[in-house]
Amino acid sequence: MLFRDNQQQPIATNIRIILMAGILVSCMLVATIGIITWYALQNVNHQVENLVNETATKSNLIYEMRIAARERNLHLAMSLLVDDPFLIDEEWMKFKEQGTLFLIAREKFKSQNPGKTESLLLQKQRELSKHAVKLQYELNDLRLSGNYIKAIEVLHEEISIQVKVFSVLDEILAIHEKNNKLIINKLFSSQEKTQKAIALLIISIFSIIYLTSTFLIKRLSIQAEEIKNEGIKYKALIEGSMDGILVLDKKSIIDCNNNALRLFGVDSLTELNRIGLDYFSQFSEEKSAIKSDGIFNAINHALVNNKKRYEWVFKKANNDTFPSDIELQGIELNENNYVQMIIRDITERERIKKALQDANENLENKVKERTDELTKTNQKMLGLAHSAGMSEVASGVLHNVGNVLNSVNVSSSIIKNRALNSRARNLNKVIDILHKNKGNIDDFLKNDEAGKLVIPFLEQLSEKITREQEDQIQEINSLTNNVDHIKNIISMQQSYAGNIGVIEKIKTGDIANDAIDINLSSINNSGINLSKYYDTDYEISIDKHKLIQILVNLISNAKHAVMNGGKSDKNIILGIKKHNNNIIFFVEDNGIGIDEKDIEHVFEFGFKKRVEGHGYGLHHSAISAKELGGTLTVDSDGMNKGATFTLTIPIEQK
């Protein structure tokens, strides 16, 4: 890198001379050790190779004899067990083949110059094999004459002799192994002198290295400490920076850190220079520095008298663009003038800034629009209900609208509170701090304890603001869905004036999830645990708006029941199951429960136990269930023991 002190050059030259002298002497000694070691290893390798080859050959031949003897006995025994003459002849021929293989392996072993003891054991094996062969042919004659009992007796005798043959072969292997150990011990003892010579040379090399190192350490300890500190500072300031740092002359990029390569989407400094900053800065459309005039670098050189700062939009290698803050600083290295350029990607900062502006501008308008729309919808619904003369139905519709409006109010309050308490306000504090230190922003961010926290704080703030936006969008979507449901309730109310309800095919799970979503905001804010148990997800043909009104009403009543129950664990279960040709929806809670004497009055018009209740929600739901061809029932074990409402709907509407 260019970040190097010129005063270190004479010291570096002395270091190179001393090191080269030490390395030269060390290399000569290492070469001597290498030659001696090579010759010693060659000798050992040659002897070991001969020993391995001889050992492998003899061992293989002994095992070949063992295998041949074993296979020969096996085929001899098989000739007594089979009845087919052809198979008997085949086993006898295999018996002879294995005998031939045994003799071939034995003769090869003899050609390997066995020792005196091995030769005596081979002779012993030969005498045993002669006796065994005699018994083998005697066994064959007995088999041919049909005397199998006598043949089996002879086979037993022959096998006992073969066991002795195997024992002789094992003795040969043991002797062979013993001889190998003796040879290896001789090889190890012959290497002691060579090892001593090599050890002496190694000690000499370490002595030279020690003396050279001691001299260098005494002379260069202070300079080494300075170089170490400079390396640490370089790594912390240059490679540890989240910004791209480049060093420019008037035509090209002299050096850069890894973050600069990442910003422009290239893999190396060579590739960065091959394309050229004129292309990345959009001064030139030519993706080649050869065809570019280096205007961008020249302009930056002309700008720098003191530290300069400006904003720019760069293009990456893949043609994507990104806005950035640029800081220029003139530097002098080896009597040459360069420009240090620090590039900071401000894409995320600009995105957050724009998102905050858009959110602040649009949120208030959207809430006002939804509020006005709800007011008009409510007025329209009241007018339709009164004009149709259906006060009872209108009361039920108003109750259902009230349930949805509760969720709307909760969503509106959440959006308002999040807007008022948005962490985006903290961005102004950071901007004020940066403005106060804009004259020394680089030093402030790198060295000041508060400045070091700015970039991590902005990253965390960006994540939190992004999550705030996602939550606000979710609540706005919920608000929109609730308004749409109110519109659907009004459409259904209009049908009571003479239009027949529209029958649609729907999934039971989808309609149940919609009913949960309408109550979700108020349920979540009340610390209630709502569980789903969908035993089936059937497709039914039904007036979905009537069905969802019933489910919304049942979930809302369950919510109030668990809130008034006084229990720490507030649980509601919405379930779906199929029985015969009916779909059964049930809403179970562990709330305040229903007194036995009140069970039969629950669905009566005007009946209520809750002070803020109206007394017509469950009544209207029961009427709607009947209109759908089904029934709505309730079950409770008494006060403080919860309740279960069950809606039974036929799969096919009549």
Q: How far apart are CA 142 and CA 154, in angstroms?
A: 9
Q: What number of CA atoms fall less than 13 Å from residue 213's CA on the CB side?
A: 7
Q: Residue 554's pLDDT is what? A: 92
If you average pLDDT over residues 61-79, what whole number do you get? 77
The rounded mean pLDDT for the chain is 76
Q: How far apart are CA 566 and CA 564, in angstroms?
A: 6
Residue burial 522-550, b: 16+ Cβ < 10 Å; e: rest: bbeeeebebeeeeeeebebebbbbbbbbb
Task: Assign 313 a pLDDT band (cuts: 50, 70, 90).
Answer: very high
Nearest to 249 by CA among 300, 283, 309, 307: 300
Two tokens at 386?
């009164």
Q: What residues contact residue 597 under an 8 Å CB cut-off, 6+ apart?
A: none
Residue burial 289-327, b: 16+ Cβ < 10 Å; e: rest: beebebebbeebbeebeeeeeeeeebbebeeeebebbbb
DSSP 306: S
Q: How far apart are CA 3 and CA 231, in angstroms?
A: 10
- Collapsed DSSP state (helix, strand, coil) of residue 282: coil
Q: Looking at the predicted structure, is the pLDDT value of residue 7 above 50? A: no
Residues for the chain: how many in total?
A: 654
Contact in structure between 543 and 607 (CB atoms under 8 Å): no
DSSP H/E element including 582:
strand 582-589
Q: How far apart are CA 193 and CA 205, in angstroms?
A: 19
If you average pLDDT over residues 82-103, what whole number do you get? 78
Q: Residue 403's pLDDT is what? A: 63
Residue burial 74-88, b: 16+ Cβ < 10 Å; e: rest: ebbbbbbeeeeeeeb
- How many beta carbons lie within 10 A of that of residue 555, not counting itself? 25
CA distances from 203 to 31, 37, 46, 196 (A): 14, 15, 28, 10
Q: For residue range 353-398, what is the model confidence (pLDDT) as tens digits?
A: 888 878 777 776 776 777 777 667 655 544 443 343 344 344 445 5
Q: Write the secondary structure of 215-232 as one string of H (helix), E (strand) and C (coil).
A: HHHHHHHHHHHHHHHHHH
Task: Assign 606 a pLDDT band (cuts: 50, 70, 90).
Answer: confident
Q: How far apart are CA 126 and CA 116, in angstroms?
A: 15
- The residue with greater pLDDT, 409 or 3, is 409
Q: For residue range 237-272, what is the model confidence (pLDDT) as tens digits?
A: 677 778 888 888 888 888 898 888 999 999 998 998
Two tokens at 569?
């664990």
Two tokens at 364?
């208030």
Q: Looking at the predicted structure, is the pLDDT value of residue 469 above 80? A: no
* Helix 9-81 vs helix 116-145: crossing angle, to nearest 10: 30
CATH superfamily of 241-345: PAS domain (3.30.450.20)
In sign, the C-alpha dihedral spanning 83, 87, 93, 96 is: negative
Q: How far apart are CA 254 and CA 251, in angstroms?
A: 9
Q: Residue 576's pLDDT is what? A: 93
Look at 102-116, 197-211, 359-373, 494-508 and tell me which has the smallest mean pLDDT: 494-508
Task: Could you list the beta-strand ranges (E) of 181-307.
Answer: 244-248, 253-256
CATH of 7-194, one of 3.40.50.1000, 3.10.580.10, 1.20.120.1730, 1.50.10.10: 1.20.120.1730
- Collapsed DSSP state (helix, strand, coil) of residue 107: helix
Place of tokens 């190779």: 49
Domain 504-650 falls in which CATH fold?
Heat Shock Protein 90 (3.30.565)
Q: How far does the chain reach from its first CA to its final CA, in angstroms?
A: 85
Q: How far apart are CA 23 and CA 26, in angstroms?
A: 5
CA distances from 420 to 45, 225, 478, 480, 596 (A): 85, 55, 20, 21, 48
Q: For residue range 24-58, what is the model confidence (pLDDT) as tens digits?
A: 776 776 777 677 767 766 666 666 566 556 666 77
Sheet holding 582-589, edge to edge: 529-534, 571-579, 582-589, 643-650, 631-635
Q: How far apart are CA 72 and CA 91, in angstroms?
A: 9
Q: Residue 572's pLDDT is what? A: 94
Q: How far apart are CA 261 and CA 280, in angstroms?
A: 12
Please name every residue paired with 531 in a beta bridge, in sequence order, or none if there are none: 573
Q: How far apart are CA 630 and CA 648, in angstroms?
A: 5
Q: How far apart are CA 221 and CA 216, in angstroms?
A: 8
- Collapsed DSSP state (helix, strand, coil) of residue 266: coil
Q: For residue range 511-565, what is the model confidence (pLDDT) as tens digits?
A: 888 888 777 766 777 788 999 999 877 888 888 888 888 998 899 889 989 988 8
Q: 557: buried, middle or exposed (CB in 10 Å: 19+, 13-18, 0-12)?
A: buried
Nearest to 272 by CA among 227, 213, 317: 317
- The residue with greater pLDDT, 398 or 109, is 109
If you average pLDDT over residues 409-415, what whole number do you get? 72
Please name every residue paired with 480 in a beta bridge, in sequence order, or none if there are none: none
Two tokens at 496?
């009571």
- The residue with greater pLDDT, 277 or 205, is 277
Q: What residues contact residue 20 under an 8 Å CB cut-off, 6+ apart?
A: none
